[in-house]
Amino acid sequence: MRSLWPRPLRPGDTVALVACSGPVDPEALETGVAVLESWGLRVRLGSTVHTHHPHLPYLAATDTARARDFCDAWLDPRVAAVLAARGGYGAHRMVDLVDWSALRRATPVLFAGSSDATALHEAVATHVGTPTVLASMPATSLFDPVAAERLRAALFAPEKPRRLPSPAAETLRGGRARGRLVGGNLSVLAAGIGTGESRPAHNGIVVLEDVDEEPYRLDRLLTQLLRSGWFDEAAGLALGSWTGCGPDHVVRAVLWDRLGPLGVPMAWRLDFGHHPGSLAVPLGVAAEFDADTGTLTFPPTS
């Protein structure tokens, strides 16, 4: 992996908003664009943020169109960052249509997104080799002032040393761990097993979250990753929010039953995922995880 971030954003830069997954709500898009412009940025809207797939209502456009939009934004020399407008479903469908060799030859740009964009975080890491940012997306209801400020800080100063505390986190197994940050949305990671972009968590600090998955489904997804060897030699487990996944005590029991036997530092309810004020977590960078306080620090302290 490249050791350097793409250059930080500066006022006057252009950022591109692209629809890699589901259709974008026009009102949420307008609100998100206004926030980005308030940071002194110019916003370039991909053509797919205003369209729908001709036959499949859960997609923003055809796979070819969404892949072309993503590539065009990345390869535009005026664009300093590519941001997923929203999640939903569909990023996995377009990964094989992206010209990754062209993106690898281009000047690196920042990429940010979450949820279904996990598929693109994995693909960028595999094919381009630059760190990315797991964060709330501008055209969503969760892009509140706190989440927006956290994304702004991550984009304007990605290499700045930072501590990401989560006061509401609960320790499941204490201790500290060091490693690269890897992960994202649990169901999207599980769906990627067996593909060329699936990167095991070896020696990494795993960040995981999900939304609206019943406890037995969380169990199945975690079991799939465990049986595939994805968690082998993980250094630590930083587990975020599980909005709409059932009663806390049941979700906690599932996470402990499936992941506790790994025997590594582990905490849950960290402040990232599908909830207001989500942290902006870098992926692919060296970090330290303190499971006793639920804090991520990057780079690791000496």
Which domain-ending residue is among 130, 156, 182? 156
Q: Supply the pLDDT for residue 301.
A: 78
Within-domain flag for 3: no
Q: Supply the pLDDT for residue 1.
A: 40
Low-confidence ranges of the chain (pLDDT < 50): 1-3
Residues 143 and 273 in one domain: no
Residues 189 and 135 in one domain: no
Residues 229 and 148 in one domain: no
List pLDDT tens digits, range 22-60.
999 999 999 999 999 999 999 999 999 999 999 999 999
Q: Supply the pLDDT for residue 300.
A: 87
pTM, two decimals, is 0.96
Residues 26 and 146 in one domain: yes
Residues 85 and 191 in one domain: no
Residues 284 and 203 in one domain: yes
CATH number of the domain to which 215 belongs: 3.50.30.60
Within-domain flag for 283: yes
Q: Supply the pLDDT for residue 302.
A: 62
CATH number of the domain to which 150 belongs: 3.40.50.10740
List pLDDT tens digits, range 163-200.
999 999 999 999 999 999 999 999 999 999 999 999 89
Whether residue 121 lies in the annotated active site: no
Residues 217 and 240 in one domain: yes
Residues 141 and 166 in one domain: no
Residue 279 one-letter amino acid: L
Residues 246 and 184 in one domain: yes
- Exactly one of 92, 121, 274, 275 is catalytic; which is it? 274
Q: Supply the pLDDT for residue 15.
A: 98
Whether residue 209 lies in the annotated active site: yes
Strand order in the sheet with 42-45: 42-45, 14-18, 79-84, 110-113, 132-134, 281-283
- Exactly one of 122, 197, 209, 288 is catalytic; which is it? 209
- Exactly one of 115, 166, 241, 278 is catalytic; which is it? 115
Residues 124 and 202 in one domain: no
Q: Supply the pLDDT for residue 2.
A: 44
Which domain-ending residue is among 136, 156, 176? 156
Which domain-ending residue is among 127, 156, 185? 156
Q: Which residues constitute the domain of residue 146?
A: 14-156
Residues 136 and 185 in one domain: no
Q: Is omega for the bond preceding 299 within 30 degrees of 0, making it cis?
A: yes
* Integer CA distances (angstroms), 87 to 30, 154, 195, 213, in order: 16, 19, 20, 15
- In the chain, the number of structural domains is 2
Whether residue 141 lies in the annotated active site: no
Residues 202 and 121 in one domain: no
